[in-house]
Amino acid sequence: MAGYAAAILLSSFLLFQVQPLIGKYILPWFGGTPAVWTTCMLSFQVFLLAGYGYAHWLAGRLTLRRQGLLHLVLLAASLLFLPIIPADTWKPYGDEWPTWRILCLLGASIGAPYLLLSSTGPLLQSWFARTNAGRSPYRLYALSNAGSLAALVTYPFVFEPALRLGGQAWTWSACYGVFAVLCGACAVRVCRFRGSEMPADAIAATGAGAEDPPVEPPGRMNQFLWLALAACGSVVLLATTGLMCQEVAVVPFLWVLPLALYLLTFIIAFDNERWYNRAVFGVLMVAGIAGATAVLYVGVSAPLWVQVAVYSGTLFVCCMVCHGEMVRLKPHPRYLTKFYLMIAAGGALGGVLATLVAPAVFTSFWEYHLSLVACCGLLLVTIFRDRTWGLYAGRPLWAWFGLAYVFAMLTGALAYQAIVDSRQALVKTRSFYGMLQIDEYSGGDNGPYYSLRHGRIMHGVQYLDEEKRRWPTSYYGPETGVGLAVRWHPRRWIDEPDEGALRIGVIGLGTGTMAAHGKPGDVIRFYEINPDVIRLSSEYFTYRRDSAARVDVVLGDARISLERSLREQGSEQFDVLVVDAFSSDAIPMHLLTRECFEVYWKHLKPDGILAVHISNRNLDLGPVARGLAAEFGHEAALFDTSDDDARGVDAADWVLVTANREFLDRAEIRDARSPWPDDARPPLVWTDDFSNLFAVLRW
């Protein structure tokens, strides 16, 4: 078994090591949104399905000798794809469908190596079963998942801090070469095997060349349950990952944690059937779903550690139920490639439902609610069909009445939470870049107003009263850091007060509130990646139309747009550049790295001001702003302002980074500055290759 184990272990390690690696490569290209990772996951699941399909076809239709020879040829051909570094030509221009572009990008970059890695587990287990009669190959599947788990755990803690992305890609490519040699050795061994030359399908049908007699193939209902249970676990995984990334940050750690728990359930379930106790995990699943429902009600007000713990715990028990029930239904080893193919098909189906169907059908994150309900429903179906259990076929009736009552209560609570979350919405939209909601409020001291929510966080407000609709509200009031930067920039005072024209760049459109600061002669350029934000800010908010400045909007990721502008047109020569591109409470971390700050300074005038919005429930971004300011020899000034309900202004934390001493020495700026906290964390410098999320978390 040692040769097979080594090849399977390394293949599964590389299979899951490449996922966060390639995801981090392309994350800055597509706006740094949670959908980038879920789309990557869909790609990986499709490649996995293709690999399992190849293994199933190979094992069922060809003799062992031909299987080995064909696999050797494909292993050699796959080496032509190395190293796995995506070409810059795949960077988007702003008007493409991101999901399709990501799928094509990953197919061109890692498709062939990933397909062969995916096929290794089921194919080599099939070879082991054929060449070692009477020995079960299923523990090799647990070993495969252990290698995958090791890859996920080591990436954020070992490989990401130690190596730059290019170094990671080259190291992975070298290890793939070692894998090709190990797997090739197994193929050579299979070619020399002197057992039956019949394909596996013929052996299963006739029993020829095998010690066991023909076995009955698995029924259609069992095959459907393999598919459904795998799909349900996949949807829970992707929905949980999206939910957590939406409220914190799109970083490898928050990708890895749910995926690691998902794989851990595979390891436990497939290692030995004793590890899965249906009654215990059924009760834990009900408790987990109840806890997740409570956290959904509380929303972002719940402490971060509570959100992560509850969502992760619920994911674990739900996947444990799905995968534990799958193992209870597993077939004879002769049908293992078909079993794995259905598992892979279910995973890919779940990926399609969560990544493509849900955003197109739902305007909210309802796939999470539905996946939890589906887990409960599938457990009830498997219990109903299990002849070895006392609840088989709906008896006794009183017990099933109790189960139905619990199921109805959980479903009702989840449905009610979804309704409450949407009941005051005037309009809701959802796209690759997240969920947007326009709420209409009729009360308040200043009369009716509209607000824009991105996810579960408010991102802008405008009053409907003719006089008040021009007020800069929410995080952009006149006394906030960004308001002071625009009001007191020395260029404003070249001639007479309020006569100096400014060029202002704003990363993140929101409702367009920054346009309210515009004066005649000003130019305000917004950078916005989400077309829905541009449409809704125009239809429901009038800040851009009412502005005295000339206002335009550039569609596309701000960093890519600014980099392209440098190459094609030169510097924008902004006086003030505002960075406020939060998605719900999550941050696009690629906009807060040393490489990105270098782009900002190329677009700012020498006396320009970089205004960074750092208000966040979960992350303390002050150390990042201070570290990057020091990296470029500038000063970072903190402006921590409170609510002003009379003007509709919310509490906000802004950091103004500049070398403009004339601005910093003004009495109005000195008086408004806030001291950095005495217990402030040390400055940090994030790069495209590494960002330490743990150092800034507010647990």
Domain boundaries, the chain: 1-214, 218-422, 471-696
Taking the CA atoms of the chain, what radius of gyration do you get in angstroms? 28
In this structure, which amino acid lies at residue 197? E
Tell me: pLDDT of 137 over 70: no
- E strands, 490-615, in order: 503-507, 523-528, 550-555, 574-579, 604-613
Residue whose token pair is 């949104």:
33
Topology agreement, domain 1-214 and domain 218-422: yes
The residue-averaged pLDDT of 549-555 equals: 94
Tell me: pLDDT of 206 over 60: no
Are 112 and 227 in contact by the 8 Å Cβ rule? The answer is: no
Are 423 and 410 in contact by the 8 Å Cβ rule? The answer is: no
Per-residue model confidence (pLDDT) at position 210: 46
Q: Find the helix packing angle between 220-247 and 252-271, rounded to 10°.
A: 150
The residue-averaged pLDDT of 363-392 equals: 88
525 or 327, higher pLDDT: 525
Residue range 471-696 forms a domain whose CATH class is alpha beta
The residue-averaged pLDDT of 231-255 equals: 79
Residue range 1-214 forms a domain whose CATH class is mainly alpha
Residue 658 in 3-state DSSP?
Answer: strand
Q: Convert the pLDDT of each residue in 244-276 to its tens digit.
A: 877 655 566 677 788 889 888 988 887 777 888
Cis omega (within 30 of 0) for bond into 83: yes
The residue-averaged pLDDT of 15-42 equals: 82
Per-residue model confidence (pLDDT) at position 209: 47
HSE at residue 570, side-chain half, CA atoms within 13 A, is: 2
Report the distance separating Cα 335 and Cα 629, nearest Å.
61
- The overall average pLDDT reported for the chain is 85
What number of other Cβ atoms are within 10 A of residue 565's Cβ?
Answer: 18
HSE at residue 326, side-chain half, CA atoms within 13 A, is: 33
The residue-averaged pLDDT of 165-173 equals: 89
Tell me: pLDDT of 136 over 70: no
Per-residue model confidence (pLDDT) at position 379: 93
643 or 132, higher pLDDT: 643
DSSP state of 99: H
CATH number for the domain whose boundaries are 218-422: 1.20.1250
Q: Convert the pLDDT of each residue in 635-656 to its tens digit.
A: 999 999 999 888 889 999 999 9
Give the pLDDT band (50/70/90) at residue 146: confident
Give the pLDDT band (50/70/90) at residue 527: very high
* Cα-to-chain-centroid distance, residue 89: 23
Give the pLDDT band (50/70/90) at residue 135: low
Residue 129 CB contacts under 8 Å (≥ 6 apart), including other chains = 135, 136, 137, 333, 334, 336
CA distances from 120 to 107, 180, 184, 312 (A): 18, 10, 11, 29
pTM: 0.79
Report the distance separating Cα 33 and Cα 687, nearest Å.
18
Residue whose token pair is 């009263």:
465
Tell me: pLDDT of 95 over 70: no
Q: Are strands 523-528 and 449-454 parallel, antiparallel or unpaired?
A: unpaired
Select the highest-mean-pLDDT range: 184-188, 251-255, 625-629. Answer: 625-629
b/e code 76-108 from CB counts within 10 Å (16+ = b): eebeebbebbbeeebbbebeeebbebbbebbee
Give the pLDDT band (50/70/90) at residue 339: confident
b/e code 450-468 from CB counts within 10 Å (16+ = b): bbbbbbbbbbbbbbeeeee
The residue-averaged pLDDT of 335-339 equals: 78
